[in-house]
A and B are shown apart, each in its own frame.
Chain A
Amino acid sequence: MLKIENLHAKVGDTEILKGLSLELNAGEIHAIMGPNGSGKSTLSYTLCGRPGYEVTEGSVTFDGQDLLALDPHERAAAGVFLGFQYPVEIPGVSNLQFLRESVNSQRKARGEEPLSGAEFIKLAKEKAGLLQMDMDMLKRAVNVGFSGGEKKRNEMVQMGIIDPKLAVLDETDSGLDIDALRVVGSGINTIMRKPDKAVLLITHYQRLLEIVKPDFVHVLVAGRIVKTGGPELALELEEEGYEAVAA
């Protein structure tokens, strides 16, 4: 589904990704772990086309098409979703309006019929319920006045409504208490653990991986994948630290 080959990317004058290669097949969940500053967030932003993140070498193909040639909104319509580490507040724009317009823009780009108001509300209610989020929060302005945990939960509600093929989740577990972590984790499983979908889970901690069980764990150090293994690698990292494992 996603094939990253020898990816080099820089932010400003600093090269952060230095030849990263990674392949995700449909039905797989991959976790990427790594120390601070290793390039985890840069990878997620580069995949989603954030302005300021410049690819200098390498390629990314998604379902056979050149992902890097697409604008950010076109990548979304192609089926790529980014769960933000720090979800952005948009004053005055309600979650529901924002999401309905987003979903219908994606559908339009794919040549599908737009969802009617009633169809959309039904979908939104279902996904909010899955993440145990109050519908009233969806009526409020996007992320404005939300706690850190509520923002992350809102990201997952958005993911549920948008129903992407590939989710890149950047530290979705940070800022969550234990109960919220369980809700978010099982939400990821329900929405994304499917034969035709894939997840790239960026995290610092083992605890999310106990709920969302990865098929592969990669260790990212200084802009490259230095080690790949199964779920046991995450445990090893937790016990021994990045330095010992990556050496």
Chain B
Amino acid sequence: MSAILPLPTWRDEAWRYGDLKALEPVWPKLAGPEKIVVPAGEKLSRQIFELPILDGTKDGVGIVDLDITIGDNAAFALHMLVSAAGYGRVQVKATLGKGAHFELGGAILGSGSQTLEIVTEVIHAEPNGTSNQVVRSVLAEKATGSFLGKVNVARNAQKTDAAQSVKAMLLDRTATANAKPELEIFADDVKCAHGATVGELDKQALFYMASRGLPPEQARKLMLHAFIADAFVSMEDDAERETAEHKALNLLENLL
């Protein structure tokens, strides 16, 4: 993305659920992706709890754009909360070397008329790479939450193991969730698992919890907290994971 490139349209796969109206005024200001290089054998991680809101936009547009190159036997873990923006977008391109690992855990929490999305492209360029992407969305009112996840496995990237798990919970019938896994596999000895669900809170479980004395709001919160927590399970640092869950819980309270 830069001033030179034309504004994307909904015909561009990676932007088909984007809020292009909100994007237009900030488009020329976007600097292009931040490049991250993980040297061979090393392990890096990044947490994004708040999207950087670009100036001069009406409802707040927050965009994170990462281009990550993960060296041989190196690993990168990205965990994020996509929430506080009128239009929030995290787009990530990760290119994996031999035996490299990419971990992504994302929670999307939206209400009002927010449009929030995570768009990933994971390129398994070499053999024995692994990737795991877990996205959980909780959407209320007229919010839209999307995950577009492309996995590309090169011809020689044998023994690739790539997994995607995408689940969305709609708190109102007016909310929208999009989940679009896209697999492009040129190698023949690989494992690419993907699963996507969109649902509502289990009414039976809510009644079960009420029958034990939990008021409806508290029961919903408990279930949603557990649902969102899946996105942070893979965080290795306990203190960081607690921080992430705590921040997610605070955001959840605003949705209920």
User: Contacts A88-B202, A105-B214 given; 4 further ones with Cβ under 8 A?
Assistant: A92-B226, A101-B218, A101-B222, A105-B218
Measured between C-beta atoms, what is the minimum distance from A89 to chain B in Å? Answer: 8
Measured between C-beta atoms, what is the minimum distance from A112 to chain B in Å? Answer: 12
* B223 & A105 in contact (Cβ 8 Å cutoff): no
* B222 & A98 in contact (Cβ 8 Å cutoff): yes
Q: Mark each residue of chain B from 235 to 249: 1 if its CB lies under 8 Å from any CB of chain A, else 0.
A: 000000000000000
Contacting residues, chain B, for A73 (C-beta < 8 A): 210-211, 213-216, 219
Measured between C-beta atoms, what is the minimum distance from A144 to chain B in Å? Answer: 10
* A103 & B213 in contact (Cβ 8 Å cutoff): yes
Measured between C-beta atoms, what is the minimum distance from B61 to chain A in Å? Answer: 32
A141 nearest in chain B by CB position: B226
* B208 & A102 in contact (Cβ 8 Å cutoff): no
B207 nearest in chain A by CB position: A50
Q: Report if B27 contacts A (CB, 8 A).
A: no
* A92 & B229 in contact (Cβ 8 Å cutoff): yes
Measured between C-beta atoms, what is the minimum distance from A129 to chain B in Å? Answer: 20
Which residues of B approach A to under 8 Å, CB–CB? 202-205, 207-216, 218-219, 222-223, 225-227, 229-230
* B208 & A84 in contact (Cβ 8 Å cutoff): yes
A88 with B204, Cβ < 8 A, contacts A98-B222, A105-B218 known: yes
Contacting residues, chain A, for B222 (C-beta < 8 A): 93, 97-98, 101
Measured between C-beta atoms, what is the minimum distance from B5 to chain A in Å? Answer: 42
Q: Say which residue of B205, B213, B218 sits within 8 Å of A88 (CB atoms).
A: B205
A92 with B230, Cβ < 8 A, contacts A51-B207, A76-B211, A101-B222 known: yes
Q: Report if A128 contacts B (CB, 8 A).
A: no
User: How far, in angstroms, from A101 to B207 measured CA to CA in the complex?
Assistant: 15
Q: Mark each residue of chain A from 71 to 88: 1 if its CB lies under 8 Å from any CB of chain B, else 0.
A: 111011100011010011
Q: Say which residue of A49, A87, A103, A141 sits within 8 Å of B208 (CB atoms).
A: A87
Listed residue (B203, B208, B212) with the most chain A CB atoms within 10 angstroms of its CB? B212
* B214 & A102 in contact (Cβ 8 Å cutoff): yes
* B212 & A162 in contact (Cβ 8 Å cutoff): yes
User: How far, in angstroms, from A6 to B209 measured CA to CA in the complex?
Assistant: 29
> Could you tell me the dominant secondary structure of chain B's interface residues?
helix
Contacting residues, chain A, for B226 (C-beta < 8 A): 90-93, 141
A93 with B223, Cβ < 8 A, contacts A50-B207, A51-B203, A88-B205 known: yes
Measured between C-beta atoms, what is the minimum distance from A9 to chain B in Å? Answer: 16
Q: Report if A172 contacts B (CB, 8 A).
A: no
Q: Could you give 27 example pairs across A and B, Cβ below 8 Å?
A: A49-B210, A51-B203, A51-B207, A71-B210, A71-B216, A72-B207, A72-B210, A73-B210, A73-B219, A76-B213, A84-B211, A88-B208, A90-B202, A90-B209, A92-B223, A92-B225, A92-B227, A92-B230, A93-B226, A98-B214, A99-B212, A101-B214, A101-B218, A101-B222, A102-B213, A103-B213, A105-B214
* A90 & B213 in contact (Cβ 8 Å cutoff): no
Contacting residues, chain B, for A158 (C-beta < 8 A): 212
Measured between C-beta atoms, what is the minimum distance from A169 to chain B in Å? Answer: 12
A72 with B227, Cβ < 8 A, contacts A51-B203, A90-B205 known: no
Measured between C-beta atoms, what is the minimum distance from A73 to chain B in Å? Answer: 4
User: How far, in angstroms, from A103 to B213 measured CA to CA in the complex?
Assistant: 7
Q: Report if A203 contacts B (CB, 8 A).
A: no
User: How far, in angstroms, from A106 to B214 measured CA to CA in the complex?
Assistant: 7
A97 nearest in chain B by CB position: B222
* B215 & A105 in contact (Cβ 8 Å cutoff): yes
Q: Report if A109 contacts B (CB, 8 A).
A: yes
Contacting residues, chain A, for B205 (C-beta < 8 A): 88-90
User: How far, in angstroms, from A103 to B230 measured CA to CA in the complex?
Assistant: 26
Which 4 pairs between the two chains have the least Cβ-Cβ distance? A92-B226, A76-B213, A72-B210, A106-B213
Contacting residues, chain B, for A72 (C-beta < 8 A): 207, 210-211
User: How far, in angstroms, from A76 to B219 measured CA to CA in the complex?
Assistant: 14
Contacting residues, chain B, for A103 (C-beta < 8 A): 213
User: How far, in angstroms, from A92 to B216 measured CA to CA in the complex?
Assistant: 18
Q: Report if A212 contacts B (CB, 8 A).
A: no
Q: Report if A199 contacts B (CB, 8 A).
A: no
Q: Report if A202 contacts B (CB, 8 A).
A: no
User: How far, in angstroms, from A93 to B219 measured CA to CA in the complex?
Assistant: 10
User: How far, in angstroms, from A88 to B208 measured CA to CA in the complex?
Assistant: 7
User: How far, in angstroms, from A76 to B205 measured CA to CA in the complex?
Assistant: 15
User: How far, in angstroms, from A181 to B152 measured CA to CA in the complex?
Assistant: 55
Contacting residues, chain A, for B216 (C-beta < 8 A): 71, 73
Q: Report if A48 contacts B (CB, 8 A).
A: yes
Contacting residues, chain B, for A81 (C-beta < 8 A): 211
Measured between C-beta atoms, what is the minimum distance from B38 to chain A in Å? Answer: 31
